[in-house]
Amino acid sequence: MNNTNIMKSPLPHISFVLILTLFFGSCTKDFDKINTNPYGFTTASDGSLFNGAIESLVPSGNEQMYINNEILYKQTQLAALTKEAWGNFTIGTEDMWSNYYHTLPAIRELENRFKLLPDSAEANNMRAMLKIVLAYKTFKITDIFGDMPFINAGYGYQDLEYLRPTFDSQESIYTFLLDELKWCDENIDVTAVTEEPFPTFSGFDALFGGDMLKWQKFANSLRLRYALRMSEKEPALAGEIIKGIVENARPIFLGYHFTEYLGESACLWPLQMGFKNTSLNWSFREHKNLRMGSNIWHQLSYNDSIDGSGIFDPRAYIFFETNNVNKWVAYPQIPEASTTPSGGIPYDSHRDQTGAFDIKGETCIYSPFNYFIVRDEDFMPIPLITGAEIHFILAEVYFRGIGLPQDPDQGENEYMNGLNASVDWWMEVADKSKLPSSGMTFPELIQIPSNLGQFSVQNAFGLWNATTDEEKLAFIYTQRWLDAFRQPGEAYALARRTGMTPREGELIHHYRLPYPPSEVEYNTANWTDAVANQGGDTPETKLWWIP
User: Can you tell me the mean pLDDT for 62-68?
Assistant: 97
Which residues, in sequence order, are CB contacts of 439 under 8 Å at separation 6+? Answer: none
pLDDT of residue 18: 36
User: Can you tell me the mean pLDDT for 398-416?
Assistant: 98
374 has a pLDDT exceeding 80: yes
Least confidently predicted of 149-158, 354-363, 467-476, 493-502: 149-158
- Predicted confidence (pLDDT) per residue in 480-494, tens digit: 999 999 999 999 999
pLDDT of residue 40: 55
- Distance spanning both ends of the chain, measured CA to CA: 39
* Residue 121: CB atoms within 10 Å: 17
Contact 65, 282 (CB under 8 A): yes
* Residue 162: CB atoms within 10 Å: 20
Cα(279)–Cα(274) distance, rounded to whole angstroms? 15
User: Can you tell me the mean pLDDT for 202-222?
Assistant: 98
- Predicted confidence (pLDDT) per residue in 105-151, tens digit: 999 999 999 999 999 999 999 999 999 999 999 999 999 999 999 99
Before 197, cis peptide (omega within 30)?
A: yes
pLDDT of residue 145: 98
pLDDT of residue 4: 34
183 has a pLDDT exceeding 80: yes
User: Can you tell me the mean pLDDT for 427-444?
Assistant: 97
* Residue 450: CB atoms within 10 Å: 7
328 has a pLDDT exceeding 90: yes
Least confidently predicted of 82-86, 242-246, 333-337, 447-451: 82-86
Of 464, 484, 486, nearest to 475 (Cα)? Answer: 464
pLDDT of residue 7: 34
34 has a pLDDT exceeding 80: no
Cα(541)–Cα(407) distance, rounded to whole angstroms? 35
**Quick one: how far is CA 201 from the chain centroid?**
26
User: Can you tell me the mean pLDDT for 39-52?
Assistant: 83
Q: Is 227 left (phi over 0), alpha (psi -120 to 50) or beta?
A: alpha
The domains of the chain, with CATH numbers, are 10-211+519-547 (1.25.40)
Within 13 Å of residue 354, how many CA atoms lie on the same side as its CB?
2
Facing residues of 320 across strands?
369
> Chain-wide mean pLDDT for the chain?
92
pLDDT confidence of 160, banded at 50, 70, 90? confident
Facing residues of 474 across strands?
none
pLDDT of residue 114: 98
